[in-house]
Amino acid sequence: MLAQLLFFFLAVVAIAAAIGMIASRNPVTSALWLILNLFCVAGLYLTMNAEFIGVVQVVVYAGAIMVLFLFVIMLLGAESLPAADVLPWQKPLAAVLAIALAVESTVIFLTRARPVGTVTQPDESVNTVTNLRALGETLFTDYLLPFEVTSILLLVAMLGAIVLVRKEKRVH
Amino acid sequence: MVPVNYYIILSAILFTIGVVGVLTHRNALIIFMSIELMLNAANLAFVAFGSVIRSFSGQIFVFFVIAVAAAEVAVGLALIVEIFKSKRSIDVDQMSSLKG
């Protein structure tokens, strides 16, 4: 009962924050709505007994990636683009089609393609180790190669970002 | 007891909202944030299904998705800053230099 109530509260706030993100005029407000959405999804991770992913979401996604977004939004002036649309019927049509897709997927997942099962509640974990320890054991044994490759990926991303904004020195 | 299809429906709705954001906005930063919303929705589906089959594979994949998303945001924002430096605008309707 409490689990369902918590899920519906977090779900409604997440959907409202997502709609607020795409409907707001100011890019800064959009970023703040997205941060609220990320916090709600982190709460949903906590209800699914995935506490490490919930905390990583708050620290990395909402805490680093969105802050980077806000830095760039502030750097570029947080300008609101003029609402001179080339195709004025595009936004209402997109909204109608999106509502159609959302309703369709909801109906399909409720009636036809029902995934069967319930998510792990936080009080019925059968393992005696913490989620972090079990996740770490799986990560460093079965998924060691993707882990190392991800470190190389992050290095490449750092180098790419630095090279992109470097001023070219003219060599005479 | 929350059945898993509630989580999947929420993931589908969030993904649809992200798609609408990508398709209708002209600000490159809002488009980028909508892509992050779509990645977030996919992460939710991963963790939900991983929790149903009592395996950690879903959460580990979400770990990698978050790491890759961080790298992608770093490079993408560097690109947007560079484009702004040369064009003084982040309106994607004006990025049509390659148009024939």
Of all residues in chain A, the percent with pLDDT exceeding 70 is 87
Q: Hey, what are A5's tokens?
A: 């109530």
Do A118 and B4 count as a contact with CB atoms less than 8 A apart?
Answer: yes
**Better-predicted residue by pLDDT, A99 or B88:** A99
**Reported confidence tier of residue B97, pLDDT bands at 50, 70, 90:** confident
Give A32's pLDDT tier (boundaries 50, 70, 90): very high
pLDDT given at position A124: 56
Does residue A126 surpass a pLDDT of 60?
Answer: no
pLDDT at A77 over 90: no
Q: Which residue has the higher pLDDT, B19 or A133?
A: B19
| Structural contact between residues B27 and A26, judged by C-beta atoms closer than 8 angstroms | no
Q: Which residue has the tokens 């892509």?
A: B35
Residue A72 has pLDDT above 80, yes or no: yes
E strand or H helix that includes residue B29: helix B28-52
Asked whether the beta carbons of residue B26 and residue A81 sit closer than 8 angstroms, the reply is: yes
The DSSP symbol for B91 reads B
Lowest mean pLDDT among A88-97, A153-162, B86-95: B86-95
Q: Do B17 and A164 touch (CB under 8 A)?
A: no
**Residue A125: CB partners within 8 Å, gap ≥ 6?**
A49, A131
For the cut 70, the answer to whether the pLDDT of residue A122 exceeds it is no
Identify the band that residue A79 occupies on the pLDDT scale cut at 50, 70 and 90.
low
| Per-residue pLDDT tens digits for A36-49 | 999 999 999 999 88
Q: What does pLDDT average to over chain A?
A: 86
d(CA A128, CA A132): 12
pLDDT of residue A118: 74
Chain B: residue whose CA lies nearest to A10: B10
Write down the pLDDT at residue A63.
93
B18-48: pLDDT as tens digits: 999 998 888 899 999 999 999 999 999 999 9
Enumerate the residues of chain A whose CB falls inside 8 A of the CB of residue B51: 48-50, 119-120
The stretch A150-154 carries a mean pLDDT of: 95
B50-92 per-position pLDDT tens digit = 988 888 889 999 999 999 999 999 999 999 998 888 888 888 8
pLDDT band at A123 (very low <50, low <70, confident <90, very high): low
pLDDT band at A2 (very low <50, low <70, confident <90, very high): confident
pLDDT of residue A78: 64
Task: Determine the Cα–Cα distance for residues B86 and B79; give it in Å rounded to an integer.
Answer: 11
* Nearest-Cα residue of chain A relative to residue B8: A109
Q: How close A102 comes to chain B (CA, Å)? A: 5
DSSP symbol at A57: I
Q: Is the CB of B33 less than 8 angstroms away from the CB of A30?
A: yes
pLDDT tier at A149, thresholds 50, 70, 90: very high
Say which of A64, A69, A119 has its CB closest to residue B33: A69
Instruction: Answer yes or no: do A53 and B9 touch at CB < 8 A.
Output: no
| Residue A72, C-beta contacts closer than 8 angstroms, at least 6 positions apart | B29, B77, B80, B81
- Closest-CA residue of B relative to A95 is B20
